[in-house]
Amino acid sequence: MKLAFIGLGVMGYPMAGHLKKAGHEVTVYNRNPAKAQKWVGEYGGAPTSNCKSAPTPAAAAKGQDIVFACVGRDSDLRDVTIGKDGAFESMGKGALFVDHTTASAGIARELSAVAQKAGFEFLDAPVSGGEAGAVNGKLTIMCGGSEASYAKAEPVMAVYAKQSRLMGDSGAGQITKMVNQVCIAGMVQGMAEGFSFARAAGLDIEKVVEVISKGAAQSWQMENRYKTMAAGEYNLGFAVEWMRKDLSIVLDESRRNGASMPVTALVDQFYAEIEQMGGKRWDTSSLFARQERARNKS
């Protein structure tokens, strides 16, 4: 297929690479053109290779069957779609725009309406699995949109997904990703408190985890983050500033739908404290650093 990929960050760069490796013709756009040229150099090979970079999102999207995007925030997504030289300017009838950004449900519905009016489709498709999942092609994708648009996108997305599912109409993918982030935030804070409690009691965290991870407390976060948490290493995985962005989306949505989110709001405050500690770029397991600081002060 003829594809475009907009946004070559830590997630988009390898995801676009998987599409190229699968044999698709891929045009990329990145706000920093040097990053796009680096991608073409890595995945393009010969000058006649069927991949290239484009100077604008509109140029990247022109003539494509599917246009993928993975950018930072609602504002970034709006810029690359309906902003000046945005992708929506040049997308043809019957094309599909697939958005992998973690964004609000509101902008997903807004852009879906714009796309439908223009004669093409929009699928919100946020991902979970982090950089490792993107590199290894093991992402989980939560989608919102029509069954037809999902059916078109799913076999293409399969090259970087271990699982994908259509959750409902436009915005449903983003709402599902919000649930994912809520669960992670509460889980990591529980681990931070539990590990701090264990250390205060004089227990060896590794021994504790060896036991409790075989029971009901087991989780992906525990298996993959307990060693670095206990060692005070927070340079792995999803950054605090991005989790705060995601939690702000959750809290905004909860004010609209009336859901009570006391734990999520509290953990967001804890992440704000970590930012004040200089941990804006620390990974989300750094809740343990805040917990230990509070314990050592008491």
Counting every residue, how long is the chain?
A: 298
DSSP for 103-145? --HHHHHHHHHHHHHHT-EEEE--EESHHHHHHHT-EEEEEES
**In terms of C-beta density within 10 A (0-12 exposed, 13-18 middle, 19 or more buried), how is residue 80 classed?**
buried
Are the C-beta atoms of 3 and 157 separated by less than 8 Å?
A: no
Identify the CA nearest to 246 among candidates 128, 104, 111: 104
The residues that bridge with 123 in the sheet, in sequence order, are 98
| Catalytic residue status for 177 | yes
Rounded distance, CA 126 to CA 72, Å? 11
Q: Which member of 177, 214, 245, 297 is catalytic?
A: 177
Q: Side-chain half-sphere of 213: how many Cα atoms within 13 Å?
A: 17
φ, ψ (nearest 5 deg) of residue 167: -95, -15
User: Helix 220-231 vs helix 172-200: angle between axes, to the nearest 10 degrees?
Assistant: 50
Active site residues: 177
